[in-house]
Amino acid sequence: MSSLSSIRGGNARRSIAWQLQLRFSKLQDPELLIRHALESSKRAGDFKTATKAHARIVTSGYWANPPVLASLVSAYVRCHQLDLAERVVHHVASRCRNLLTLNIFLRDLLGAGQCGVARKLFDKMPERDVVTWNSMIGGLTRNGRFHDALASFRDMLGSDVKPDGFTFASVFTSCARVGFLSHASWAHGLMIEKKIEGHYILHAALIDMYARCGKIQTSREIFDSVPHDDVSVWNSMINGLAIHGHAHDAITVFSEMEQENVTPDSITFVGLLTACSRCGLVEEGRKYFDSMRRRYSIQPEIQHYGAMVDLLARAGSVDEAYAMIKEMPMKPDAAIWRTLLSSCRVFKRSRLGEVAIANIPRCESGDYVLLSNTYCSLTRWDSAAKMRNLMKKKRVGKNCGKSWIEFAGEIHQFRSGDRSHRETEALYEVLDELIKRTKMAGFVPSMELVLMDVADEEKEENLNFHSEKLAVAYGVLKSSPGSEIVVLKNLRICYDCHCWIKLLSRILSRTIVVRDRLRFHRFEGGLCSCNDYW
């Protein structure tokens, strides 16, 4: 066991090589040692160990073992030896004619995150069945390659292989993450056209898809029309309501779930706690956090602690949130520290913010920006300047806000201050007019939120050209009066844009929906569905 532990650690390359040479002949399960060696070489980027393991794969007869070969490919990719990785794939594809083996190899490559190499194998495969296509589409979806997954699905539709329910479950998941209703409607329509029979995985994916595309009522209609035997169907409904800020509805659905004697799982409570967090239901959140342990014997995982920290910190109980972090039975991850850091900006707790950022293993630009903004909110300009200098020293750039809007089947993307769009001139004319109208209605820009200590005119200009404002202006430019405008955003919406869009929805008498990184905001008549709590 000590030799395996040494190999698993992967800290000393010479130790790994020595263990390989010493133990190959003694270990009863050489496949296990090969895989440990490959994992160690991936972690350390140790090309020498990877080649030794490769040689042992050949001499030990594991050349037809898909999981081992997938691990070998991953090791070569991690060692920046893409040519060797592709040679392994080419060798397998050219010599193996067993579709089952190739499907397993493809699945394992995608499971290891090697989407590019997996695509090369997929293209070389002499034949493909529904399992092949499902592995490719599902693997791309799980790796966050949602547009690629949908493109592969379109390719499948042009082949002689018919998609099944599992195909559509992956497609619905990709549509949910892309977030545009046209994709969702298209995929759902195809499922109906091809008479694909529904099962609980498909039902759960459908509910999740429409919720994430902004149609929570459609999700509810589907939920009410399908069997409720499996917990995943309930989870999709509860989580969908949570991201729309419908906490009380999520709690009602959970009560119905208990009445129907469906046992909740850990995902159920993540949804419930998230719903409570989105609406500031602190006591309800505490009750469910206690109930999952006491009544259902579900031990909280890091996601549950993260949701509780978020709930407490958003509600202003920052010290209690910090105390929970310190009492967690597992090591807090970066997401939990970022949650605390974000609340430190809101409640102007710069010292605790410094503690949070010191515990984030690899700080990203947004982390520095949050702490710098905290200093700015306290008019601690010297500290903010030091933070900006640190960002420059570390060569950390600020994350660029991006927003998307769909019109006539085409997706238009905007960055803050973007002037690259083909209709830029008309877009900025509309934006300027909207800004004038909101100012006449009493809107005052929140210039204290701008990171840099610059002139007020420059601060206001920075705020005016945020990506979501550009996307909303484009929606006004291209759509008919009264129609709904839907915008997707990669970051959380800022306070200034939130206030501006609220007022704009009243001035224009239009519904404007913004899906940011965490939730939906539905602006109607000068109000937002989040009740200004996000």
What are the tens digits of pLDDT across the range 306-347?
999 999 999 999 999 999 999 999 999 989 999 998 898 889
- pLDDT category, 373, cuts 50, 70, 90? confident
Can you say whether residue 410 is alpha, beta or left, with left for phi > 0 and alpha for psi between -120 and 50 degrees?
Answer: beta
Residue 513 pLDDT: 96
State phi, psi for 62 to the nearest 5 degrees.
-100, 20
What are the tens digits of pLDDT across the range 502-513?
999 999 999 999
3-state helix, strand, coil in the chain (%, to 5): 65, 5, 30
Reply yes or no on whether the pLDDT at 63 is more than 90: no
What integer is the mean pLDDT of 26-32? 59
Reply yes or no on whether the pLDDT at 487 is more than 90: yes
Q: What is the DSSP string of 291-338?
A: HHHHTT-PPP-HHHHHHHHHHHHHTT-HHHHHHHHHH-SS---HHHHH
Reply yes or no on whether the pLDDT at 427 is more than 80: yes
Residue 98 pLDDT: 82
Q: How does the average pLDDT of the chain come out, rounded? A: 86
Q: What is the DSSP string of 73-99?
A: HHHHHHTT-HHHHHHHHHHHHHH---H
Distance CA 61, CA 184 (A): 47
Token duo for residue 3 = 């030799």
Token duo for residue 338 = 């970022």
- pLDDT category, 25, cuts 50, 70, 90? very low
Least confident stretch, 8-22, 259-273, 384-398: 8-22
Q: Is 112 helix (H, G, I), strand (E, B) or coil?
A: coil
What are the tens digits of pLDDT across the range 217-231?
999 999 999 999 999
Residue 22 pLDDT: 42
> Are the beta carbons of 523 and 513 closer than 8 angstroms?
yes
Per residue, what are the HEC states of 334-350?
Answer: HHHHHHHHHHHHHCCCH
**Alpha-carbon Rg for the chain in angstroms:** 26
- pLDDT category, 455, cuts 50, 70, 90? very low
Provide the residue ranges of all domains of the chain, joining segments of one domain with +. Answer: 402-528
What are the tens digits of pLDDT across the range 228-263?
999 999 999 999 999 999 999 999 999 999 999 999
Reply yes or no on whether the pLDDT at 359 is more than 60: yes
Distance CA 115, CA 149 (A): 11
Distance CA 473, CA 438 (A): 13
Least confident stretch, 60-64, 334-338, 436-440, 457-461: 457-461
What integer is the mean pLDDT of 154-166? 96
Q: Report the percent of the chain where pLDDT is more than 90.
A: 57
Half-sphere exposure of residue 277: CA atoms within 13 angstroms, side-chain side: 27
- pLDDT category, 448, cuts 50, 70, 90? low
364-369 contact pairs (CB < 8 A, 24+):
364/396, 364/399, 365/391, 365/396, 365/397, 365/398, 365/399, 366/338, 366/398, 366/399, 366/491, 367/338, 367/341, 368/396, 369/398, 369/399, 369/451
Maximum mean pLDDT: which of 83-87, 239-243, 347-351, 393-397: 239-243
More confident residue, 529 or 30: 529
Residue 97 pLDDT: 78
Distances (CA, A) of 378 to 339, 355, 381, 460: 20, 17, 8, 19
What integer is the mean pLDDT of 184-197? 94
> Are the beta carbons of 4 and 40 closer than 8 angstroms?
no
Maximum mean pLDDT: which of 130-144, 331-345, 371-385: 130-144
